Structure formats: C-alpha cells, structure tokens
Structure 1
Amino acid sequence: MTVIRLTKEFSFEAAHALDGYDGPCREVHGHSYRLFVTVRGVPQGDERSPKYGMVMDFGDLKRLVHEQIVSRLDHAFVLRRTAANETLLAALRLRFDRVVLVDYQPTCENMLADFARRLRGGLPAGVELHALKLHETAASYAEWYADDNADRL
C-alpha cells in the first residue's frame, strides 16, 4: 500500500509574553502564526466508501484543527499560568475575553508539543499525525515530527 502525507495550512493571530524571559519577548507582543499540519496514512481502498482514494478528508482535518487550536487561540493573549500572573490575569479578564492560560511557557516549541497532544486523539483510525510546523514570523519557525517523539507520546 502507498503511504501518502497530506498537509493543510492554517493561520491565526495571537499575543503572548514569555514570563521570566531575559529578552524582549518578555513583553506582550503578537504574531501572525502560520501552522502547517501534516498527517499520513494509506488512502481508502474501498470503492464503496465516500472517502475512496482519500487518506483523510481535508474538511475533517480543518474542523479538527479549528476546534482544537485556531478557535481557541485566534486573537487571544496566551499567558503561562503562574502564581505571579494571577493579579495580571484578574485585571486582564475585567477588560478582555480571550485570555488563554497554559501550563507551559508559550514558546513556539511548547505550543507545538501542545498542538500535537490535542490533534493526535481526534484523527480517524489509520491516520497518524506526521509533522507540525509553526511560523511565528515569515523567517522563524519550529517543527515537530512524530518520528522524533515516538518515545515521548
């Protein structure tokens, strides 16, 4: 059987601050994120199936990524959950609705690990998450590969 990889691109706008960081990214700032999601599998071989010839319907992949990532983070401020941030969080929530707390430093790298965990459980049988690529800027991105993380999943 032929294994095929499918990739779909997504974009979202989000702000974050890197709590305790020793550079300019400790300040609140935003990115126009571009996320590439690649899955792999064998195309459906049953000619009677409405998914005949497909590894996965691109629309199903779009729904999953929007549900787990884009709708959650688009136009949000992502902040690490710490005791020191509780006062800031209370003030922000008086004014803004889209503040997302995470249990990790919201770096591009950590966001990818979170995205991988969120997406893997929603894929159809026989379809695997192969890779993720997240651009913070046009020239800066991080990548996650299933093969590199087989013992960490």
Structure 2
Amino acid sequence: MRLCREFYFEAAHYIPHYKGKCEQLHGHTYKLEIVIEGGVKKDGMVIDFAKMKEIVESAVIEKLDHQALNELFENPTAEHILEWISVQLNGKLPLASLRLWEGQGKWVEILI
C-alpha cells in the first residue's frame, strides 16, 4: 500500500551562471510530496502520519524553511535539492517516491 503526505517550505535562491530571470535572487513556495510504501501493520496503519511529519520536519523542513538555499547548495536547482532530501530521508522512511514542486506547475521527481 502507498500513502502520501505533503509538506511546504519557503526558500530563496538563484541559479549561478544561468542566463535568465533565475540568475537573480528570488523565492518559491516549495511543496514536497513524500510517498511511502509498506504493509498495513497491526495498528491498521502503514505509518502514523504524525510520526511521518516528525521525521520529515526534523530531517528536511527545519533545515530548508526560510533559508537562502545558495548558502546550503552550490547550485540549488530543484533537482539538487530533491537529491539532498532523498539522502536525508534514506533509511528513515520506506520511500516509494519523492516529488518537489517549485511553485505551481513545475516539479521534479525521484522514483525509489
């Protein structure tokens, strides 16, 4: 069975050496969709949504929310940010996929 939880964070960045608007400092509302996969346990859940929230907020959201991402990443593209998120959550949740939305209509996804 799969289940998904969404998380949101606000952050600013610029893309170094990019020719266009994104070379200037700007911000986004990011949406992170985390899909986990597993069997239903005796308690009737794959995972407690509250436990999932606790893990994701401490491993990811608290580190990225309201940050200047260029201070954390050399080249803070959505792809690099999602790769980092994947590493942070590896082994902490039974991940099936991760999707990071950079505003509306633009996303990157990792299938695990």
Q: Same fold (TM over 0.5)?
A: yes
Q: Which amino acid aligns with 1:56?
A: I
Match of 1:70 in 2: 61
Q: What number of residue pairs does the alignment pair up?
A: 112
Match of 2:77 in 1: 107
CA distance in 1, matches of 2:87, 2:5: 18
CA distance in 2, matches of 1:11, 1:137: 10
Match of 1:34 in 2: 31
CA distance in 1, matches of 2:109, 2:88: 16
CA distance in 1, matches of 2:59, 2:13: 18
Q: Which has the larger radius of gyration?
A: 1
Give me the CA root mean square deviation.
1.2
* Moved beyond 4 Å, runs of 4+: none
Q: Which residues of structure 1 form unaligned runs of 5+?
A: 46-51, 80-99, 147-153
Shift, 1:121, TM fit: 2.3
Q: Which of 9, 19, 27 does residue 22 from structure 1 map onto?
A: 19
Shift, 1:23, TM fit: 2.2
Q: Which residues of structure 2 form unaligned runs of 5+?
A: none
Match of 1:138 in 2: 104
Q: Residues 58-90 of structure 1: CA distance to partner in whole angstroms, max 9, x if unpaired?
A: 1111011101111111111111xxxxxxxxxxx
TM-score, normalised on structure 2? 0.93
Q: Which amino acid aligns with 2:19?
A: D
Question: Any idea what SS the aligned residue of 1:121 has?
Answer: coil
Shift, 1:138, TM fit: 1.2
Shift, 1:6, TM fit: 1.1
Q: Which has the higher contact order (CA 8 A, sep 6+)?
A: 2
Q: Which amino acid aligns with 1:57?
A: D
